[in-house]
Each structure stands twice: as structure tokens, then as C-alpha cells.
């Protein structure tokens, strides 16, 4: 999902940089308020996100896709803005040092993978955890989050022939199904399983990270 | 920052394991194409015609200073060398991400409200 240099025209690139400036600002404010005891965990999760994106998985149409880890970070930090920071750090490093994702597309890539993905994933998780529990909800959240982000990237690719010809040559009738397919069948299931397993493990050893909602449910369950 | 937290330690072990196993991320897809929309622009130009991607061909090489392009040492193209290059890239990438994160945290200096 790392859009390379040249696939988005200058107007689209500038647009996403402009959108990201206030989002990055708000994320930094959220980081300022974060419980300092969570900082080492966020550090290793940032490294985890970098590594998990190196595991390219085969898509049946002959391409590849990978998970991102944004929903997992949003859930474990209980704040999707914090995931925006971690994923943005990873994407900037990947663009500058590894040529993965364009320099001109950092705004768009951070928007897709660092904003859409963790926010959709986190709020799907938040909504579903009451009904299916934290672990299943985290898996479904991660799945919906990455597929939504991929569809967003597909739209950005697919708008180019209409607004800035000369960049991505394929319209969204081609790009959206292609991006959605790769993430529905490969990266999405991987993200769901990995996120659910990590959430299951972390919940077992550090139930305190999952907030008071659970305890209240537990207490009310006992008294009822 | 307390890096001795037991959960953080577990993640450190996981990160080490992922670095060792990361070549799977290229070997499993060795005969596969690129991810959708991440093709080499010159090859795409051959497929759709250069004038359809004229802007792309100008913009594509705007950043050619990545020291480890595509997570590899340039020229290490066979599976064994590419795997070693991939592991080196994983180590460098983890160090850069944690370093950048550490600097950001030092600047932002989070305090509980």
C-alpha cells in the first residue's frame, strides 16, 4: 500500500501533506498526554510495525501485500492518534532509507496507513468488543481497517487519470478492486490473525492495558 | 523509559525472531510481481505507453538517495544475498525507527495530565 513517487500528481501529493499537518499536530498533542509508562511499549510496537510490513504475502493474482500493525497499536495504546505517530515514523524511515513509498507521497501514505487504518480499526474494535469480546473484535477491527485503507489508496490511484493525467494510468474501476482484493484475501486475514493473537497475549499478561470497561463488565457479571 | 518491563521484553524477543525470519517476506513471493501500484515506472511505460505516464516518469526519480533501496544492498540480487540484505535492512530499519521514536519522545516529553 506504499504509493511510490510518480503515481500521484503534485496536487494530490500537496493536498495530503496539507491534510496531514493538523493531524500530525493533534497526534503530537495526544503523545504529550500519553502515560509515560506506555512509552517503551510504543517504542517496540513502532519497530514491530516496521518489521511486519517486511513480510510480503502472496496474493493469488500474482502480486503481494502486507499487514501494517496500525490497529494493534491503536488498541494497545487505547488511542488511534498514537498509532498515527508510530506508523508515520515508520513510513518516513521507509521512504527515505529504503525507497519504499514515495517522498512526495508521504502525506498520502500516512493518511491511508497511519490515519484511516488505525481509526477505522480502532472504532470497529471499540464498537464490537461489547458483543464479541476484545480478541475477536481486535481481529475484525484490524481486517476492516486495512481493507478500508487499501480502498482509500485505490481511490487515490484511480482519481489520477481524471484530475492529473500522466501519473497513475489506471482509473478507479481498476485500482479499487485490485487494492481491495489484495487486502481482502491476503493482508486482511493476516492482520486479523496477528492482531487478535497479540491482543490475546497482551490481555493475558497485562489486563490493565484494556481499561476499566472490562472490570466493570466483570463485576456486573458477578453481581448479576 | 523503563525497558525492563516484562511485556516490552517479550516484544523485544519477538522483534529479534522477526528479524531472523524476515527473508520469508521475499522468499515466499520470489516469483510474484510487485504489489499493485508499486511497479517500476519504466516497465509500466512500456505497457501503457510513455505519454500516458509522462508525469510519472519525471517524478519517479525525485528521491534516489535511499541507501538500501527495496530493503537490499544494491546488486545483491540472488535469493541468498537478497535474504542477507533483507536482514541487514531489518536491523537498520528497526534501529532507525526506535532512534527516531526516542528523539521524538525526548522532544515532546510526555507528561501525564
Structural domain count of chain A: 1
Parse chain B into domains and list their residue ranges.
Answer: 1-31+67-113, 36-62
Q: What does the pLDDT look like over B33-88, one tens digit per residue?
A: 999 999 999 999 999 999 999 999 999 999 999 999 999 999 999 999 999 999 99
Helix, coil or strand: residue A64: strand
CB-neighbour burial class of residue B88 (10 A; exposed 0-12, middle 13-18, buried 19+): middle
Q: What does the pLDDT look like over B85-99, one tens digit per residue?
A: 999 999 999 999 999
pLDDT at A210: 85
Place of cell 473484535: A137
pLDDT at A121: 98
Q: Do B35 and A62 touch (CB under 8 A)?
A: no
Q: Of the candidates A6, A47, A57, which has its C-beta nearest B98's C-beta?
A: A47
Q: What does the pLDDT look like over A74-107, one tens digit per residue?
A: 999 999 999 999 999 999 999 999 999 999 999 9
Asked if residue A224 has pLDDT above 50, the reply is: no
pLDDT bracket for residue B1 (50, 70, 90) = low
DSSP B8-54: HHHHHHHHHHHHHHTTHHHHTTTTS-PPTT-S-HHHHHHHH-GGGGH
Longest dimension (CA), chain B: 58
Tell me the average pLDDT of chain A: 94
pLDDT at B111: 79
ipTM, 2 dp? 0.95
Asked if residue A20 has pLDDT above 70, the reply is: yes
> Distance between CA atoms of B65 and B67, rounded to whole angstroms?
6
Out of A194-198, A208-212, A220-224, give the one with best mean pLDDT.
A194-198
Place of cell 508510530: A86
A-B contacts (CB, under 8 Å): 215
> Distance between CA atoms of B2 and B12, rounded to whole angstroms?
13
Q: From the centroid of its chain, how far is CA A102? A: 18
Asked if residue A217 has pLDDT above 60, the reply is: no
Interface test with B, best of A3, A4, A205 (most B CBs within 10 A): A4
Tell me the average pLDDT of chain B: 94
A50: which chain B residues are within 8 Å (Cβ-Cβ)?
Answer: 90, 93-94, 97
For strand A64-65 and strand A57-58, is the pairing parallel, antiparallel, or unpaired?
Answer: antiparallel
Domain with A83 in it: 10-207
CATH value at residue A142:
1.10.1760.20
Q: Which residues of chain A from 15 to 34 reach within 8 Å of chain B, CB to CB?
A: 28, 31-34
pLDDT at B110: 81
Amino acid at each position: 500500500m506504499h504509493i511510490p513517487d510518480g503515481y500521484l500528481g503534485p496536487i494530490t501529493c500537496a493536498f495530503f501533506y496539507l491534510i496531514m499537518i493538523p493531524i500530525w499536530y493533534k497526534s503530537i498533542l495526544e503523545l504529550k498526554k500519553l502515560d509515560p509508562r506506555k512509552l517503551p511499549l510504543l517504542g517496540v510496537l513502532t519497530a514491530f510495525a516496521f518489521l511486519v510490513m517486511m513480510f510480503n504475502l502472496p496474493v493469488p493474482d500474482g502480486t503481494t501485500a502486507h499487514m501494517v500493525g496500525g490497529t494493534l497499536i491503536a488498541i494497545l495504546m487505547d488511542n488511534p492518534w498514537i498509532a498515527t505517530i508510530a506508523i508515520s515514523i515508520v513510513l518516513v524511515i521507509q521512504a527515505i532509507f529504503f525507497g519504499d513509498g514515495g517522498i512526495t507521497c508521504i502525506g498520502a501514505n500516512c493518511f491511508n496507513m497511519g490515519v484511516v487504518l488505525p481509526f477505522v480499526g480502532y472504532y470497529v474494535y471499540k464498537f464490537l468488543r461489547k458483543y464479541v469480546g476484545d480478541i475477536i473484535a481486535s481481529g475484525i477491527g484490524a481486517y476492516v481497517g486495512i481493507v478500508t485503507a487499501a480502498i482509500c489508496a485505490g481511490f487515490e490511484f484511480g482519481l489520477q487519470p481524471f484530475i492529473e493525467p500522466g501519473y497513475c494510468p489506471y482509473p478507479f474501476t481498476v485500482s479499487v478492486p485490485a487494492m481491495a482484493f489484495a487486502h481482502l484475501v491476503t493482508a486482511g486475514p493476516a492482520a486479523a490473525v496477528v492482531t487478535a493473537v497479540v491482543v490475546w497475549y497482551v490481555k493475558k499478561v497485562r489486563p490493565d492495558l484494556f481499561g476499566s470497561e472490562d472490570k466493570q463488565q466483570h463485576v456486573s457479571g458477578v453481581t448479576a | 523509559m523503563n525497558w525492563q518491563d516484562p511485556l516490552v521484553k517479550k516484544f523485544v524477543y519477538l522483534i529479534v525472531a522477526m528479524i531472523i525470519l524476515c527473508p520469508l517476506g521475499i522468499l515466499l513471493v520470489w516469483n510474484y510481481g510487485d504489489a499493485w501500484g508499486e511497479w517500476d515506472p519504466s516497465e509500466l511505460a512500456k505497457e501503457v505507453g510513455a505519454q500516458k505516464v509522462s508525469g510519472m516518469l519525471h517524478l519517479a526519480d525525485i528521491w534516489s538517495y535511499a541507501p538500501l533501496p527495496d530493503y537490499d544492498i544494491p546488486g545483491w540480487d540472488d535469493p541468498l544475498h537478497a535474504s542477507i540484505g533483507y536482514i541487514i535492512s531489518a536491523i537498520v530499519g528497526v534501529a532507525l525507527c526506535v532512534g527516531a521514536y526516542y528523539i521524538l519522545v525526548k522532544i515532546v516529553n510526555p507528561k501525564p495530565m
